[in-house]
Structure 1
């Protein structure tokens, strides 16, 4: 990684072009350090935001939509690698909120799957390491900078008020929800990005889920050490 008003209308279906990345791939690429291949955010943030990116991808493809407070699948099956998630949503006996789907879809395996998709395209490199001969970790340093450079150019132009396609707008909302936008563009005016993170339902679901995770962590810390939690100094 290198340095409006809510829209209630149904989004237009926007298929990614052959050379373009999916929203999950684009998010993960920008969330990963170019040099060491490590994530720029904690693992739980990465997993949660990637789940939101999957919902955003399905939404852009017209495969799902928000109806009232619940996510509903359409009859338009996605032609990308996220058909499994679409089928889960389609066949669930009870509809769920976006936040609930974020919590259900997030996971380490999905992060690795999207990383491996970037690896197969020659954008990042799979680097496996063993520690003490027992524990294996995996990093994904950048191999081809061109896709990331293109993404950064599009995002920066949109932040400066230029035209933005639906996929770039969704990506900006997710980056803001994950706390990555300020790291990528520390000098940018993020007013519009904050509005997007609040108004675009997949990004809002990420924000809500991260808030719940952090509250749970704070509560667990207080239960473990109530005296220190009340007097952190």
Structure 2
């Protein structure tokens, strides 16, 4: 069964991050970096941001003239943090060591609320010992997630992915979530294919370069945050 919903990259990412009970199964450090990367790439895919010509790793994100005004306040903040910076620095400024205001968490909560409002998720708050609450997001429409996984599965089998699927594969690979989503696949072979998908250039050189750099940026952001936490 297919779905007529058109979901953003952060929305597709978070649906795959949720386990079958509606709990977020990726630790907060990886999750923040991944959400930040998804937000940056969504802005690139939507034509709001572009990657200026330049040496890979040094090219900066620029606002594309004439781009439509963003309706999402959290994505507008992400855009402001990203403009003038490399994808690596943009991810760090939104969801890594350079972010002090929890912008990635704001994006996450906004997207989950939107998915609940659309009827894709339920929202349950759990009280623990009367002292604090936690939230789970059980799936109401599991076919929506199944459709996303099917697109990724096709890409991993060598089928030509759309730009959003390629971006999603890159981020999932960066946070090592692919083996949980596709446990029957050989892990090393799957990682190899995932690394190649964003480098194919089928969606235009700037998009392919942005996907590749954001994947590297998410990995770098996770490493930096983990090192800082353990120091």
**TM over 0.5: same fold?**
yes
The normalised TM-score by structure 1 is 0.77
2:153 to 134, 152, 156: 156
Please list the CA deviations of residues 120-172 of structure 1 after superposition, one character each: whole Å capped at 9, or x if unmatched.
11111111111222211111111111110100111001100012111111111
Gap runs ≥5 in structure 2: 96-103, 200-208
Contact kept, 8 Å, 1:123 with 1:144, in 2: the verdict is: yes
Structure 2 Cα separation of the partners of residues 19 and 141 of structure 1: 18
Contact kept, 8 Å, 1:53 with 1:174, in 2: the verdict is: yes
Compare CA radii of gyration and give the structure with the larger one: 1
RMSD: 2.3
Contact kept, 8 Å, 2:39 with 2:75, in 1: the verdict is: no
The alpha carbon displacement at 1:66 in A equals 2.1
1:96 to 68, 74, 85: 85
Match of 1:73 in 2: 63
The alpha carbon displacement at 1:85 in A equals 3.1
Structure 2 Cα separation of the partners of residues 18 and 113 of structure 1: 21
Say whether 1:55 aligns with 2:56. no
Say whether 1:27 aligns with 2:20. no
The normalised TM-score by structure 2 is 0.78
Secondary structure at the counterpart of residue 62 of structure 1 = coil
Aligned length: 199
The alpha carbon displacement at 1:18 in A equals 7.0
Alignment of 1:1-233 (within 5 A): 19-34=5-20, 36-67=21-52, 68=54, 69=58, 70-75=60-65, 76-77=67-68, 81=72, 83-85=75-77, 87-89=79-81, 95-106=84-95, 107-186=104-183, 187-188=185-186, 189-190=189-190, 191-196=192-197, 200-218=212-230, 220=231
Gap runs ≥5 in structure 1: 1-16, 221-233
Structure 2 Cα separation of the partners of residues 196 and 123 of structure 1: 28
The alpha carbon displacement at 1:185 in A equals 1.4
Structure 2 Cα separation of the partners of residues 174 and 56 of structure 1: 10
Q: With CA pairs under 8 Å and 6+ residues apart, which has the higher RCO, 1 or 2?
A: 2
Contact kept, 8 Å, 1:128 with 1:138, in 2: the verdict is: yes
